[in-house]
Amino acid sequence: MTKSLFNGKITRRDFLNGSSIGMGAMLLGAGAPSARSSASGYPNSGYAPKASLGQDWYGYGGVGDYALSHGNTPEVVNTAHSLVGAEFSKMAETLAVDEEYDVVIVGGGMAGLGAAWHFKKHAKPGQTCLMLDNHPVFGGVAKENEFSVDGETLLAPQGANSFFMPPAASDPEAVSGDARYYAEFNIPRELQLQQWQSGAKPLNFSPDNYLHLYWLAENNVDVGHFFAAKNGLQFAKNIWQNNFEGTPYTQQQRETLRAWRNTRYDSGQDNSAAKFLDNMSYRDYMKQTFPSALGGAEIEDPFLAGAFGLGGDAISAWVAKSVQMPGTLSQQEFEQPLPERCSFPGGNSGFARYFLKNIIPDAIAGNYELDDIITGKIDTASLDKSGQPIRIRLGSTALSVAHESNPDSAEAVQIVYKQGGQMRTVRAKSVVMASGGWINRHVIQDLPAEIDQAYQQFNHAPFMVANVALSNWRFLDKLGITACRWDAGFGASCNIRQPMLVGRHQPPLDPDKPTVLTFYVPFHRPGLSVKDQVSAGRMELFSTSYASYEEQIIQQMNRLFAASGFVPKRDVRGIILNRWGHAFVTPEPGFFFDTPDRTAPRNIVMKGYGRIAFGHGELEGFQHWGPAADQGRRAMTEALTKA
């Protein structure tokens, strides 16, 4: 084991406090994979590994049901690499059909679960459905990490992690998105958070891992900002709230940023305004409306990258307005209080679990109540039982999807998938592709050129969420903060949440007790083209070993917190990396609306063709759990007409 930043050599037991570390975890001395290439191997990445990724890349996964499924697994990445340039068009002809279903869903994220739930409600008696998901656990990016530290169970999101409490709906069928499923599943609206200890100094927490990045939220969250300076780091607290006092900005820059913050946009919400804003990037919009603020605008790039993968130079100004970026709010919007924001212990895994409990009730142990659904054990054996109308098959990667004959007249689609090293074939009357567009292009063998060309206009940004289990967070308490942002080094931000109390997840809120510090790690590189940004980001994500990232995280924490008492070997109990190679579709200008001479790519894809319907979250542009489920519902509605 190599020298680490934990003041010398450490053992697995030292680092993880004796908890079970699973397969190949914590290989601190392992080097980065030799896989580095500029060849166009992984879809749209510019990266093709020369060797398979392994456990030195994957690292520690925590404990519990999700321990072997954190982020993209090596198996998923390696299989995806094998698809590129492979010839699978004749595969179905050489394999016997193992099973037949009315509908097959490819992809088990929120869109796939939304499709499966719609099938359960609307399928005719006797109709059957199979879901294929390539990961060991359902949910897509809506999964969780679990740690056990000093007797405390700590849960943290792997990816998607928060939501605004949706408005109540008396008729779920009359609404869409979050409000529809929240009402349909009868999810409680009264959620209990652990309270900050009475008598302690005032300290404001975010309930999720995203709100602290939002410029309007600094009245709600105590955020420390670290700026690179000649003599180390310059620290300032709640800079938006405190008018940039304590920052390295000049007085003129501060005045400009304050003016930018207070600028109002009053062109209304009609469709013409939306189309106008969708024709330019947020950065270009600023050049037109407030050019003097451009020098400081990068301060909000981490917020945008945390929601859309890249910063203001890449995303549509309409998207920026949708998340109320500075300079896009009307006076009325500016005066409205922030809506209530929430996060289940494992983030949006909570919603994935609600879907699953409704689709296959035995899949999660316990009763139909919040505590059991959020923290109950997953019964994987119940997912794929013979005879049940919906079967969910994990660890199953679709390799080939193709109509049996001409898509306009074919009576079925054949799907070849790989599970446990074996190739299998199923036949379906219709298919819902709830998997990402970057892989659909390579899996679907008879994809029309129009849809393929539309998919080529989608750029997908990588993202990483790193969860660090701590024995204490006294070093944050001494600074008077619960969240942190910086302008140089690993990642861009980290925070601890005000934990929700659910079932066996009852963590304390005490600076001397365990918690999870979550790092959001975007890969935006302003100045490069969008394609070059996402390509370079994926190359870094896939070619950096676990040990290297672990070292970078500890270095960054030392840089930020050593002066306030952080000691790595004493304070850190485990690090889980959740790497998502295609976490976000980047909604660039022109993503949302048709023009007289151009159909928006997402609208082309949503038309589908033959017996194949497309329904995945990236078609929304705003990738969120409720709208993603709606996409699956829309696609299943189409699929059932052909089943």
Residue 515, sorted as left (phi over 0), alpha (psi -120 to 50) or beta, turns out to be beta
Q: By CB neighbour count within 10 A (0-12 exposed, 13-18 middle, 19+ buried), where does 89 fall?
A: exposed
- Please tell me the predicted confidence (pLDDT) of residue 631: 97
- Please tell me the predicted confidence (pLDDT) of residue 258: 84
Name which residue leads in pLDDT, 263 or 22: 263
Is pLDDT above 70 for 180? yes
Pairing of strands 341-342, 163-164: antiparallel
- Please tell me the predicted confidence (pLDDT) of residue 96: 86
502 forms beta bridges with 505
- Please tell me the predicted confidence (pLDDT) of residue 266: 66
Please give the single-letter amino acid code of residue 268: G
Q: Which domains does the chain have, with CATH numbers?
A: 12-81+141-199+460-585 (no CATH), 95-127+383-458+587-640 (3.50.50.60), 211-335 (no CATH)
- Please tell me the predicted confidence (pLDDT) of residue 556: 97
- Please tell me the predicted confidence (pLDDT) of residue 474: 97
Please give the Cα distance from 388 to 408 (Å, whole number).
31
The pLDDT-based confidence of 12 (bands split at 50, 70, 90) is: very low
Q: In sequence order, which residues have a C-beta less than 8 Å from that of residue 100 and are 6 or more positions away?
A: 426, 427, 428
Please give the Cα distance from 404 to 406 (Å, whole number).
7
- Please tell me the predicted confidence (pLDDT) of residue 3: 32
For residues 62, 466, 383, 503, the Cα torsion angle rounded to the nearest 10 degrees is 70
Instruction: Give the chain's count of helices (H) and strands (E).
Output: 22, 18
The pLDDT-based confidence of 26 (bands split at 50, 70, 90) is: very low
Give the residue among 625, 572, 549 at the shortest CA–CA distance from 159: 625
pLDDT in tens, 439-453: 999 999 999 999 999
The length of the chain in residues reads 643
Please give the Cα distance from 462 to 524 (Å, whole number).
9
Name which residue leads in pLDDT, 372 or 295: 372
pLDDT in tens, 414-431: 999 999 889 999 999 999
In Å, what is the CA distance from 80 to each residue of 41, 53, 398, 400? Answer: 9, 12, 10, 12
430 forms beta bridges with 103
Average pLDDT over residues 295-318: 87
- Please tell me the predicted confidence (pLDDT) of residue 417: 95
Average pLDDT over residues 113-141: 97
- Please tell me the predicted confidence (pLDDT) of residue 268: 54
- Please tell me the predicted confidence (pLDDT) of residue 37: 28
Is pLDDT above 50 for 348? yes
- Name the percent of the chain lying above pLDDT 90: 69
**HEC profile of 384-403:** CCCCCCEEEECCEEEEEEEE
- Please tell me the predicted confidence (pLDDT) of residue 126: 97
pLDDT in tens, 129-158: 999 999 999 999 999 999 999 999 999 999
With beta carbons less than 8 A apart as the criterion, state whether 121 and 390 touch. no
pLDDT in tens, 152-176: 999 999 999 989 999 999 999 999 9
- Please tell me the predicted confidence (pLDDT) of residue 90: 66
One-character DSSP codes across 97-141:
--EEEEEEEE--SHHHHHHHHHHHHHPPTT--EEEE-SSSSSSTT
pLDDT in tens, 265-292: 765 555 677 888 899 999 998 888 888 7
Give the residue among 5, 111, 39 at the shortest CA–CA distance from 434: 111
Is pLDDT above 80 for 195? yes
The two tokens of residue 28 are 């601190």
- Please tell me the predicted confidence (pLDDT) of residue 15: 32
Is pLDDT above 80 for 229? yes
- Please tell me the predicted confidence (pLDDT) of residue 87: 62
- Please tell me the predicted confidence (pLDDT) of residue 92: 65
Is pLDDT above 60 for 4? no
